[in-house]
Amino acid sequence: MGSPSRVAAVPALLRRLNVRRVIEALQRHGPCTRAQLTRLTRISPPTMSKLVAILVREGIVERGRKPVPTRGRPGILFHLAKKKAHVVGVVVDIHETTIVAAGLDGQPLSGRQVVVPTPHDVDQLVAAIVPHIRHQRRSARSELRYIGLTVPGLIDRATGRVVFSPNLHFLDGVNLGERLKKELGTPVATFQEEHALCLAAQRFGDAKNLTDFVLLDVSAGFGMGVVSAGRFITGSTGFAGEIGHIRVQLEGRPCGCGNRGCLETVATDYALARAASERAGRPLTIAQVAEEVRQGRLALDGILEDVLEYLALAVSIVVNIFNPQAVLLHGGLFEIEDNIVSRIVERARRMTMRPSLEVCQVLRTSANKPAGAIAGALERVWAELGPVLQ
Binding positions for Zn ion, rule: CB under 5 A = 245, 255, 257, 259, 262
**Shortest Cβ distance from residue 249 to Zn ion (Å)?**
11
Q: Where are any strands of DSSP class E within the chain?
A: 61-68, 75-80, 85-92, 96-103, 108-117, 143-151, 154-155, 162-164, 188-192, 213-217, 223-228, 231-232, 326-330, 361-364
Other CB atoms within 10 A of residue 230 CB: 10
Closest CA to 160 of 182, 185, 177, 184: 177
CA nearest neighbour of 314 among 331, 290, 336, 289: 331
Query: For residues 47 and 167, which CB has a smaller minimum distance to Zn ion in the complex?
Result: 167
| Smallest gap from residue 225 Cβ to Zn ion (A) | 18
Minimum CB–partner distance for residue 311 and Zn ion (Å): 16
Contact status, residue 263 vs residue 243, Cβ threshold 8 Å: yes
Bridge partners (DSSP) of residue 149 are 90, 190
Distance CA 297, CA 337 (A): 14
Of 262 and 272, nearer to Zn ion (C-beta) is 262
Say if CB 308 and CB 339 are below 8 A apart.
no
CB 273 to Zn ion: min, Å: 18
**Closer of 151 and 357 to Zn ion (Cβ):** 151
d(C-alpha 88, C-alpha 159), whole Å: 20
What minimum distance in Å lies between the beta carbon of 310 and Zn ion?
A: 13
Give least dist CB 307 to Zn ion, A: 16
Compare residues 212 and 242 and give the one whose CB is closer to Zn ion. 242
Q: For 354-374, b where at least 16 C-beta lie within 10 A, e where not — what string?
A: eebbeebebeebebbbbbbbb
- DSSP secondary structure code for residue 339 in this structure: T
Closest CB 243 distance from Zn ion, rounded Å = 10
Nearer to Zn ion, 267 or 381 (CB): 267
- Residue number, 263 or 327, with CB nearest to Zn ion: 263
Four-point Cα dihedral 182, 187, 190, 193, nearest 10: -120
Q: Which is nearer to Zn ion, 63 or 253 (CB)?
A: 253
